[in-house]
Amino acid sequence: MNERLVECFEDIIDESEKCMATGAGITGGDPLAVPERTLDLIR
């Protein structure tokens, strides 16, 4: 995420707040290869 290693969900939230993000996208490989993880992030 913005060149930062993300190790947990809290890292995503922290970086999003620092960047003042107004949206998000899930990319990199196939997000549906592990559907439950993808759905958890969406929720």
Mean pLDDT split into 10-residue runs, the chain, 43 residues: 82 90 86 91 87
- Ranges of each domain in the chain: 9-42
Instruction: Give yes or no for a contact between 15 and 2, defined as CB atoms under 8 angstroms apart.
Output: yes
- CA gap 18, 3 in Å, rounded: 13
pLDDT at 1: 65
pLDDT at 17: 92
